Structure 1
Amino acid sequence: MKIKSVHIKNFRSIYDQKIIFYNITNFVGPNGAGKSTILYALDWFFNGNKYTQLSEKDATFGHSKENIEVSVTFDNLTDYDREIIGSQYVNDDSNEFTVWRIHKMLSDEEILSANVKGYPPFSETKASKTATEKKNNYQKLRDNMPDLGLPDRKRQNDIDEALREWENTHPENLEDIEESLSTSFKGFAGEGRLSKLFEYTLVRADLRANEETADVKKTLFSNIIERVVDRQLASEPLQELFDSVQDKEKDIYKKYYANPLNELTSALNEHLRQYSVGRKVRIQPDIAEILPPQAKFNIAVIEEKFSSNVENQGHGFQRTLLIAALQLLSENASTETSKELCLAIEEPELYQHPIQQKRFAHVLKKLTASSEKKIQVIYAAHSPNFLDVEKINQTYKLKRNSVENDDIHTEINNISDQELLNINPNKPDLIKNALGNELANGIFSEGVFLVEGPNEVAYIDALTEKTDLPFSLKGIEVIKCPKTNMPFCIDILKKLGIPIKIMFDNDSGFETRMKEKQKGDEKKTKELRNQHINNNKKILEKVGIDIDTDTNGFILPGNFGYVFVVSDTLESYFSDNVVGWEKLMQQPDVKKNSRIYQEFINSSQLNAFPKELIDFITNDKFFV
């Protein structure tokens, strides 16, 4: 049983969002965007108020009187899952099950609800708010539907039991209904049915490893123990030991206290007979039953001959210990009856250098590689090392938006499986091959500046650092993407809600370059001309811009707001418009040398470069 989807309403910055979950689900975005809010909403859903006591401050701004609601839909139910959940809620063919938790603001009350099987005519009686109302509604049921054979019941609990008994014996009459679980699904957050099937463990950013390595409920270490060690293995010999201790305790009490207690009992009974006939008392040792505690374990850090607690270690070692524990968890298969584990990690990159981050990401991926592990992973990350570009559909990009009445809500963007397939159905590996980690860096940015190659990246990075507000301060990432793949990249970035600027060559001088290199015949030249023209056209179609063309069909160069079209190539454009550039290009080993290009730009004044290009770089126009 896994989480299929989550619907969050009115919880902090998230007013109304439905999210599809995967084996690994990744939330990215700037600080304060709402990534951790999703993790905390689920923590409240699964663990109740144990860690999160809700109040009107937890409602979305401007909606403090509205209820907070989190619903979770589970799928991939097994026979064991259906058996534990019960036939009232799922049948033998059910593969999904939905539960939601509601915090009622006006009454400060919390209820658990679910999609259950029930008999619709009973709903009014079940929903009765008082005992008298339930009694009257139940009697009305008996009067209006005598064929049901409902027994005469007056007390509230007896009425609930009569309705349940009728539904259990008439499964063919049951339908999917929504029902408050305050009476029929008690204990979901504690020891109820779902708690036997599902465990949600949140590793918070401020959580030290010593808390996760404590052998208490819902910790990482406890989950490892539950999957590997049978805590009942030593129960019988421990019980025998405690029984023998108890017997020895009784012997000690008898040896030291029997005589004085017998004398005291005789004296008390002698006086009691003066007031009461036929009854006696006995003063005896009050020996409490000694029960063996559940087997518990701990982790000690051993360094040479010294042993210390985990909490005494540095942050780096503590996070490393968590990674090692997760790796161990991934190597131990679950059993048919073991719980599904959803592991949520806030800022998994904390205290880890890049190599360790990559290793951690690999461990998390391995955790979910097999369905037999029964593990889902959710994390809110700030590092590209935790983003799998091959499964970009499993990543959600979050940002804060101001809406009507000055409300500030979290906007969640994602590209679905079908949308990803529709964008390029014939090239499923295009994201990885075309962009690789470039896309990962872009997804973590506030905006993306698309260029064709690494030289263009070097030019723009160097130029923007000379402006009053460099891209590094604005959170804009310059990404290389071949022109043929730009339409695809634009689709991906747009779906993720990432603003885009685009600069590309119109390649209008390609024929001259071919003649200089004595390459290609007339047929080949015509094919390449059509290819360049079509590539240019496809990019403009994606961003909704119509630009005039020259007599050969090439789009005209210039600054078009969020698109900058370069005349022929950027190298030739600089040669025509930047003093000293042509001389630079005549030096040996200069072509395609990004470092030399950057050094030239760094040593030049900003006004040495074309004003239209600088205006394009510094304007705030993006395609969204």
Structure 2
Amino acid sequence: MKVSHIVVENYRSLRRVELSVTDYTALVGANGSGKSSVLYALQWFYEGGALEGEDICGYHRPADGEVLDESSDAIAARTVSVTVTFSDLTSQDRSRLREYGRGDTAVFRKSWVLGDAKPKVVGNAKQGPGFAELRTMKLVGDFRPAYASLRHSQEGLPDLGGSPSRDQVSDALVAWEADPANGASLVDIADNDANHMFGIDGPNIILRCSRLVLIPAAAEISNQVGSSGKGSALGDLIGAFMSNAGATARAKWQSTYADELAELNSSVKRSVEASTGLQASRINSKLVELVPNAAVSFVPAVPDWTPKGEASVTTDVTIDGTTNDVSKQGHGIQRAIMIAMFQSLLPDAALLAGSHNAHADETVDEAQARLQEELANLPTLVVCIEEPEIYQHPVRARAFARVLAALASQQGGQVLLATHSPYFVRPDQFSSVRRFRLVSGVSKVRRTSLAGVAALSGDEEVKVQKILEKRLPTSFSEGFFADAVVLVEGETDKAVLEAIAEVLGQPLDSIGVCVLEVSAKDSLKIPYSLFSALEIPTYVIADGDALGAARTYPDKQNEAANAHASHRASTERITAWLPAATALQGESPHSFGSPTTIAEKFTIWNDDIEEELAAWPSFVAALLDNGGKLRKKDLLAYRTAVFEADIGDLPSTLRTTIDAICAFRVNS
């Protein structure tokens, strides 16, 4: 079975967050937006562990002597809960989960209230009608007559006689519910006690169906993977094997040298008795005068000569023929080893096959059949990784992203990661992106799909997919991690605006703003729709192209007229879908041919950014001094000229545009 849906409530910044989960799910967003909290909440759901007040969303430590509000609303406000829906249940999962696995999905909720010693787990069960009440009965005087009464209303329950035990009644109920013929008669029981499924009051059944491993971003990596000490990943991985191997070796040695050990024991005993006998006689000669019928003797306690030493293990790493202790390797190698080791903590096909031995009474075919059955019953694996890009250079990060995608595609594998890297957001995984943002200290999450972006942009899905496949790995994905995005037509706009912002003391990256170029005006709408669907604030800067036709065709009237009409149509298309916004300079909405419009949510140049730069005398002079020229598209020359120009004669349109972007970021 696989995780298909998660609801986290009141955990850290997650007031209430719902996530649909696929085989590969990438949590993206700015720092502190709550991505990692989802991973740790899911780990708590699987593994438990202590929570404290600071883990509660919006928690305020009570003052000394303050009495906690016990109203239902107040208790709810200090209750942390994680609800997980599992889908793709196998027949083995259903057998293990019993009443919780009879529907299309299995749903469990773990909750903890501040002040409680233990969490509580409930699940949505399907049981026979009236069975839930009967199962709560403990006394024979209650459950026996209740069962007899139930037999009259439900056909198929067996006659257990006049004095059935509680176990017999329970088994009869389970058998009735497991019969497919009774499936339509089962009733839904919401919030049924399920503590026993999570090992709170019994064996952990959930872990037999699904396992989770979390690789944190911050960990003492060499301590985790370098030695087999208590609590380390290496100790957890091979500690039991080491203990068993050591015990087996010692037992074999003890058996081989049993006679020698017996002779050693006898020799030591005789020697000790001889050396202490004189002193015992001396004591007894004096003791008899005090207590006539008393005597002492010194009985040798021969030590157990069985070897007691426990083996230990350290981790060496060999790279290109050179071997070193793992602590002497780079952090990238250490983290890769830790990820592999954490994954190996969970049983898999390789472990079962490697440790599988035929029983004495089995044929080869029977042993193989048993192995296949054990493999089919392995739990699914949910691999959660916090910042997989840590310590990985770009080439290795891309390769690692591919490895994780392959792991997620395997049967029984899921990957859930919190990342700041575009390498882990691939076009084919676009619908699996969950974008987080922090609003007033509370996490919000959004997702979208190819169909969703197409619906917003008004384009065919095929066109949207083509653009995403081209742009997502190289530019769009960077916007997922920004607090706000500025979309521009070309590289010149991007280079010049970023440089001007830096000169003005308002560097855009320092306030979380990412500038992305899309190559053409008609290419702005799809990325705008994409980021809007993910609720990423997006500011648009476009060319009005009012002078473009005359500049391109100065001596060709017909061609100039056609180009002018095309530019007008293109500009009018973009003004038609841009959001309404108050103009800071010029008029909003913008009209083709009118002066530059700078509004709260967009800027449309009268022509293009080069035309605005032409009105900056010191910039033009600096550009010429460096061998550049307007419209030559030399980005380095443009950027250098911005830094060398006099900011005092900077055109108001360029200054106001930077101010508008910064204000847009603050107000979004």
Fold shared per TM-score above 0.5: yes
Equivalences for residues 145-544 of structure 1 within 5 A: 145=150, 147=152, 159=166, 162-171=169-178, 172=182, 173-182=185-194, 185=197, 187=199, 191-210=203-222, 211-212=224-225, 242=251, 245-246=254-255, 249=258, 252-253=261-262, 256=265, 299-302=315-318, 309-311=325-327, 313-322=329-338, 335-368=375-408, 370-372=409-411, 374-402=412-440, 408-416=441-449, 418-423=451-456, 424=459, 425-427=461-463, 428-434=465-471, 436-481=473-518, 482-516=520-554, 518=556, 521=559, 524-525=562-563, 528-529=566-567, 531-541=569-579
Instruction: Flag structure 2 segments of 5+ consecutive residues without an equivalent.
Output: 60-73, 274-300, 351-374
Given that 2:453 and 2:526 are in contact with CA atoms closer than 8 Å, whether structure 1 keeps it comes out as no
Question: Residue 559 of structure 1: SS of its match in structure 2?
Answer: strand
* Structure 2 Cα separation of the partners of residues 572 and 491 of structure 1: 28
* Structure 1 Cα separation of the partners of residues 645 and 334 of structure 2: 48
Counterpart residue identity of residue 431, structure 1:
L
Aligned residue pair count: 576
Aligned to 2:99: 88
Matched, 1:621 2:655: no
Tell me the TM-score normalized by structure 1: 0.77
Given that 2:593 and 2:606 are in contact with CA atoms closer than 8 Å, whether structure 1 keeps it comes out as no
* Structure 1 Cα separation of the partners of residues 555 and 401 of structure 2: 47
Counterpart residue identity of residue 596, structure 2:
P
Equivalences for residues 512-591 of structure 1 within 5 A: 512-516=550-554, 518=556, 521=559, 524-525=562-563, 528-529=566-567, 531-541=569-579, 547-548=588-589, 550=591, 557-575=596-614, 577-580=615-618, 591=632
Aligned to 1:40: 40
Aligned to 2:63: none
Structure 1 residue 110 displacement after superposition: 1.6
Cα deviation code 1:596-623 (max 9, x no counterpart): 1112211122232222431231241258
Distance 1:181 1:243, change over 3 A: farther
* Structure 1 Cα separation of the partners of residues 527 and 410 of structure 2: 32
Question: Residue 516 of structure 1: SS of its match in structure 2?
Answer: coil
Distance 1:607 1:165, change over 3 A: farther
Matched, 1:58 2:85: no
Distance 1:102 1:549, change over 3 A: closer
1:112 equivalent among 121, 124, 127: 121
Question: Residue 48 of structure 2: SS of its match in structure 1?
Answer: helix
Structure 1 residue 69 displacement after superposition: 1.1
Given that 1:449 and 1:501 are in contact with CA atoms closer than 8 Å, whether structure 2 keeps it comes out as yes
Structure 1 residue 116 displacement after superposition: 2.4
Distance 1:559 1:519, change over 3 A: same
* Structure 2 Cα separation of the partners of residues 254 and 175 of structure 1: 72
Matched, 1:8 2:8: yes
Question: Residue 621 of structure 1: SS of its match in structure 2?
Answer: helix
Cα deviation code 1:170-209 (max 9, x no counterpart): 4414233235445753527985332123221111122233
Given that 2:619 and 2:645 are in contact with CA atoms closer than 8 Å, whether structure 1 keeps it comes out as no
Structure 1 residue 452 displacement after superposition: 0.7
* Structure 2 Cα separation of the partners of residues 87 and 395 of structure 1: 34
Given that 1:548 and 1:555 are in contact with CA atoms closer than 8 Å, whether structure 2 keeps it comes out as no
Cα deviation code 1:385-422 (max 9, x no counterpart): 333255333222222222xxxxx321222224642453
Question: Residue 572 of structure 1: SS of its match in structure 2?
Answer: helix
Cα deviation code 1:199-246 (max 9, x no counterpart): 2111112223342576799998799999xxx989x9999969846745
Given that 1:246 and 1:290 are in contact with CA atoms closer than 8 Å, whether structure 2 keeps it comes out as no
Structure 1 residue 578 displacement after superposition: 1.8
Structure 1 residue 319 displacement after superposition: 2.2
Equivalences for residues 64-83 of structure 1 within 5 A: 66-83=78-95
Question: Residue 178 of structure 1: SS of its match in structure 2?
Answer: strand
Question: Residue 439 of structure 2: SS of its match in structure 1?
Answer: strand
Question: Residue 419 of structure 1: SS of its match in structure 2?
Answer: helix
* Structure 1 Cα separation of the partners of residues 406 and 445 of structure 2: 27
Of stretches 299-308 and 114-123 in structure 1, the one that deviates more from structure 2 is: 299-308
Given that 1:188 and 1:194 are in contact with CA atoms closer than 8 Å, whether structure 2 keeps it comes out as no
Counterpart residue identity of residue 606, structure 2:
S
More helix, by proportion: 2
Structure 1 residue 350 displacement after superposition: 2.2
Cα deviation code 1:228-275 (max 9, x no counterpart): xx989x9999969846745854884488469989xx9xxxxxxxxxxx
What percent identity do the matched residue pairs reach?
Answer: 20
Counterpart residue identity of residue 205, structure 2:
R
Structure 1 residue 22 displacement after superposition: 2.2
Given that 1:203 and 1:212 are in contact with CA atoms closer than 8 Å, whether structure 2 keeps it comes out as no
Aligned to 2:639: 598
Cα deviation code 1:255-298 (max 9, x no counterpart): 8469989xx9xxxxxxxxxxxxxxxxxxx99999999x9x9986
Distance 1:529 1:317, change over 3 A: closer
Distance 1:500 1:376, change over 3 A: same
Aligned to 1:277: none
* Structure with bigger gyration radius: 2
Given that 1:323 and 1:363 are in contact with CA atoms closer than 8 Å, whether structure 2 keeps it comes out as no
* Structure 2 Cα separation of the partners of residues 14 and 59 of structure 1: 9
Aligned to 2:62: none
Structure 1 residue 308 displacement after superposition: 5.5
Given that 1:504 and 1:565 are in contact with CA atoms closer than 8 Å, whether structure 2 keeps it comes out as yes
Of stretches 184-193 and 117-126 in structure 1, the one that deviates more from structure 2 is: 184-193
Structure 1 residue 336 displacement after superposition: 2.9
* Structure 2 Cα separation of the partners of residues 61 and 609 of structure 1: 46
Counterpart residue identity of residue 462, structure 2:
N
Counterpart residue identity of residue 55, structure 1:
E
Structure 1 residue 496 displacement after superposition: 2.1
Question: Residue 633 of structure 2: SS of its match in structure 1?
Answer: coil
Distance 1:325 1:592, change over 3 A: farther
Given that 2:549 and 2:561 are in contact with CA atoms closer than 8 Å, whether structure 1 keeps it comes out as no
Aligned to 2:130: 121
Of stretches 243-252 and 215-224 in structure 1, the one that deviates more from structure 2 is: 215-224
Counterpart residue identity of residue 31, structure 1:
N
Structure 1 residue 78 displacement after superposition: 3.1
* Structure 2 Cα separation of the partners of residues 237 and 468 of structure 1: 66
Distance 1:476 1:186, change over 3 A: closer
Question: Residue 88 of structure 1: SS of its match in structure 2?
Answer: helix
Given that 2:2 and 2:87 are in contact with CA atoms closer than 8 Å, whether structure 1 keeps it comes out as yes
